[in-house]
């Protein structure tokens, strides 16, 4: 069975395409790998060029707004995907033209590390902490990289694909606080 589209799939708006054009004008060879799907434009960048590209997007292409930041684990992802295990996506929006682009950076085991974008958008604070908490991706330069949703004594990263749905029994080994010692 297949989902046959009834209408033409949405295409990236002119405003989103303009951001890409401006980015290519701002830094040469910034986006060697760009894909378009529906109305999304995805720009894949290498981790070491991430800050350079994001700075250019913010300062030269008017993408002043970091809409969303999150991670994904592609362990055993079907299809012909080759590349790093984890990817972190940054959705940037130009608030004047309302164009938006998705910037993706991949990192791999055993020590997934990306530079933090805290210097560009302080709003990434909790979102980067959440990616760290759920996937174990560290963000270098983040001022306060702690677990945010899971307790501090939790050792695993629950949204990784090799983490079982029912957990590994961590809950049973949490220290129990009584009323006297709390």
Partner 1 sequence: MPVNLLDEPELDSEAKQATWTLNFGPQHPATHTTLRLILELDGERIVKATPHIGYLHSGFEKLGEHLNYNQYVTIVDRKNYISPPMNEVAWHHTVEKLLGVELTPRCQYIRVIIGELGRISDHLLCTGAAALDLGAFTAFLYAFNLREQIYDVYEEMSGYRFHPGYTRVGGVLYDFNDRVLDRIKRVLTSFVKVYSDMSKLLFRNRIFLDRMRGVGKLSKADAIGMSCTGPVARASGVHVDLRKDAPYLAYPEFDFEVPYCEEGDCWARFMVRMEEMKQSVRIIEQAMAKLPSGPVNLPIAEKLNIPDKATTYNSMEGLIQHFELVMPNRGFESPVDEVYAAVEGPNGELGYYLVADGTEFGWRVRTRPPSFIHFSVFPHIIKNHMLADIVAVLGSLSIIAAELDR
- Interface residues toward partner 1, by CB under 8 A: 1-7, 9-10, 37-40, 42, 64-68, 70-74, 77-79, 89, 91, 95, 98, 100, 102, 121-127, 130, 134, 147-151, 158-159, 165
Q: How far is the CB of 72 from partner 1 (least distance, A)?
A: 4
Burial of 165 (0-12, 13-18, 19+ CB in 10 A): exposed
- Spatial strand order of the sheet with 33-37 comes to 33-37, 40-45, 100-107, 86-93, 65-73
**CB closer to partner 1 out of 25 and 75:** 75
Q: How far is the CB of 138 from partner 1 (least distance, A)?
A: 19
Q: How far is the CB of 173 from partner 1 (least distance, A)?
A: 17
CB-CB contact of 44 with 20 (8 Å): no
CB-CB contact of 39 with 12 (8 Å): yes
Three-state SS for 85? coil
Q: How far is the CB of 169 from partner 1 (least distance, A)?
A: 15
Q: How far is the CB of 28 from partner 1 (least distance, A)?
A: 27
Residue 106 Cα to chain centre, angstroms = 9
**CB closer to partner 1 out of 96 and 140:** 96
Burial of 70 (0-12, 13-18, 19+ CB in 10 A): middle
**CB closer to partner 1 out of 29 and 176:** 176
**CB closer to partner 1 out of 25 and 149:** 149
**CB closer to partner 1 out of 45 and 130:** 130
């Amino acid at each position: 069975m297949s989902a046959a589209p009834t209408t033409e799939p949405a295409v990236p708006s002119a405003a989103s395409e303009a951001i890409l054009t401006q980015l290519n004008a701002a830094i040469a060879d910034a986006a060697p790998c760009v894909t378009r799907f529906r109305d999304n434009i995805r720009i894949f960048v290498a981790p070491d060029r991430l800050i350079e590209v994001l700075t250019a997007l913010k300062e030269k292409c008017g993408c002043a707004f970091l809409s969303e930041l999150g991670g994904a684990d592609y362990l055993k992802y079907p299809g012909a995907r080759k590349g790093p295990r984890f990817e972190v996506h940054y959705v940037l929006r130009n608030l004047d033209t309302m164009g938006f682009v998705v910037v993706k950076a991949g990192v791999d085991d055993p020590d997934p590390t990306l530079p933090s974008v805290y210097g560009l958008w302080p709003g990434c604070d909790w979102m980067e902490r959440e990616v760290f908490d759920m996937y174990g991706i560290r963000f270098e330069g983040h001022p306060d990289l702690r677990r945010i949703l899971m307790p501090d004594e939790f050792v695993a990263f629950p949204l990784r694909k090799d983490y079982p749905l029912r957990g590994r029994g961590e809950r049973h080994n949490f220290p129990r606080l009584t009323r006297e010692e709390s």
